[in-house]
Copies of this chain bind each other. A is one copy, B any other.
Amino acid sequence: MPNKKEIINIKNEFENELFNSVIPFWEKHSIDKNNGGYYNCLDRNGKVYDTTKYVWLLARQVWMFSKLYNQVEQKDTWLKVAKNGMDFIRKFALNENKRAYFTLNEKGKPIYLQRKIFSECFYTIALAEYAKAVDSNILLNEATSMLKLIWDLSSDPSKVGREKLEGDSGLQTLAIPMILLNVIEEVAGTDFFEYKADIQKLIQEVRKHFINGKVYENIKQDATLENSSEGRLLNPGHAIEAGWFLKHWAKKLNDKSTDNLADNIVRKSYETGWDNEYGGLYYFLDAKGYSPTQLEWNMKLWWVHTEAIYANLLLYSSSKSDKDWERFMQIKEYSFQKFRDTKYGEWFGYLNREGKVTHQFKGGPYKGFFHIPRALLYSVKILEKLINENNE
């Protein structure tokens, strides 16, 4: 078990990374002062290499700066950054049916509408967190009605996803119940009573994906496994993230069974995902050991690792198990050593299997101001709690 001094050092390290490296990078380079919103595609040194704006990333950045304002310090500069993004996406991100686009051009004109619900989900958590920052019931109501829309869309396969043809085996993806659990957590906060039945339903959906110690990304409608590449697909980072979403709900609901499920999902997925030869967590695996068909299966991605940092620490904070702490330290050290850019700040996003940086950019179509600061902030909160416990 770590001693108090060790925990304090780690907390300082995390805070230093968050406040002196990650946040300043995005504050300095991402703001589009002419058109509003943020640039997402930032090269290693912050230079904009593409002006396309990704609604996932715009919304997540609004959410994250609002979160910092709400949970760390009511800094005007943070609120201003959040407002700059919120105004832009409220103006440009939704179409006439309140569906959120996937990409916009620099000026906000729509480029592409995905047949998925994730843009809407991130838009909604941005609204909800920003509403708290500016204490706006109007915006909170917008978030609530977006959540209703997302719920309707997610229950109606004709409205999202590919057209379902006769030969489609109709696999159910982990992503949907998982992201809904997170959106409800963000929108409802402590006031989740009216969502209780939905939450229980979603937890059961996630539970179905955990079969024989593995979290399968895709399962059949009858909750059995399909012996296909999609049916055998494991995504350890995604499973670990789902694990801590569940653990948050387990605490709110005071639900021991869900808490156990969450712990098992995190621990087993971490074990399955860890690369014993080169370290780090794989992006994709095949449950039966075939090569995944995804070309990037063996790469090491930043978000997989930051999710695992926070999840392992969260587990340790309740279990106080040496094994959970060891895993936290293992993934923390791998990540801090391999992903950080000590020259220009922020983290690289992509390593090859051997741990070498493959992509220079700091922001890209799927990497924004979200997973790293969220994991660092949430981890700091846990580390503070551990320090306080040590004082008692």
Residue of B nearest to A53 (CB): B167
Complex contact B291–A360 (CB within 8 A) = yes
State which of B50, B104, B167, B290 has its C-beta within 8 Å of the C-beta of A49.
B290
State which of B105, B293, B297, B352 has its C-beta within 8 Å of the C-beta of A167.
B105
Complex contact A290–B43 (CB within 8 A) = yes
Say whether, besides A228-B52, A295-B295, A299-B295, A165 and B350 are in contact (CB < 8 Å): no
CB of A365 within 8 Å of the partner chain = yes
Complex contact A51–B228 (CB within 8 A) = yes
Which residues of chain B are within 8 angstroms of A105 by Cβ–Cβ distance?
167, 169
Complex Cα distance, B108 from A4, in Å, reads 63
Say whether, besides A352-B353, A353-B352, A109 and B359 are in contact (CB < 8 Å): no
Complex contact A361–B162 (CB within 8 A) = no
CB of A358 within 8 Å of the partner chain = yes
Interface size on A, residues (CB 8 A): 45
**B-binding segment of A23-31, A110-118, A129-137:** A110-118
CB of A163 within 8 Å of the partner chain = yes
Complex Cα distance, B89 from A5, in Å, reads 68
Complex Cα distance, B353 from A292, in Å, reads 18
State which of B167, B169, B298, B364 has its C-beta within 8 Å of the C-beta of A358.
B298
CB of A107 within 8 Å of the partner chain = yes
Complex contact B296–A113 (CB within 8 A) = no
CB of A168 within 8 Å of the partner chain = yes
Residue of B nearest to A229 (CB): B50
Complex Cα distance, B293 from A228, in Å, reads 28
Q: What's the least CB distance linking A98 to chain B, in Å?
A: 16
Which residues of chain B are within 8 angstroms of A352 by Cβ–Cβ distance?
352-353
State which of B167, B296, B353 has its C-beta within 8 Å of the C-beta of A110.
B167
CB of A41 within 8 Å of the partner chain = yes
Which residues of chain B are within 8 angstroms of A103 by Cβ–Cβ distance?
167
Residue of B nearest to A163 (CB): B113
Complex Cα distance, B291 from A365, in Å, reads 12
CB of A222 within 8 Å of the partner chain = no
Q: What's the least CB distance linking A169 to chain B, in Å?
A: 7
Complex contact A167–B104 (CB within 8 A) = yes
CB of A389 within 8 Å of the partner chain = no
Complex Cα distance, B365 from A50, in Å, reads 30
CB of A73 within 8 Å of the partner chain = no
Residue of B nearest to A47 (CB): B290
Which residues of chain B are within 8 angstroms of A162 by Cβ–Cβ distance?
112
Residue of B nearest to A367 (CB): B293
Q: What's the least CB distance linking A336 to chain B, in Å?
A: 22
Complex contact A291–B112 (CB within 8 A) = no
Which residues of chain B are within 8 angstroms of A156 by Cβ–Cβ distance?
none
State which of B43, B293, B360 has its C-beta within 8 Å of the C-beta of A365.
B293
Sample 13 A-B pairs with CB under 8 A, ordered by A number. A51-B228, A103-B167, A105-B167, A109-B165, A111-B168, A291-B358, A291-B359, A291-B361, A292-B359, A293-B364, A295-B359, A296-B296, A353-B358
Interface positions of A (Cβ within 8 A of B): 41, 43, 49-52, 101, 103-105, 107-113, 162-163, 165-169, 228-229, 288, 290-293, 295-299, 350, 352-353, 358-361, 364-365
Given A49-B229, A113-B163, A293-B359, 18 other A-B residues pairs in contact with their CB atoms under 8 A: A104-B167, A107-B167, A109-B166, A110-B166, A110-B167, A113-B165, A290-B360, A291-B359, A291-B360, A291-B361, A293-B361, A293-B364, A293-B365, A295-B296, A295-B299, A295-B359, A297-B358, A353-B358
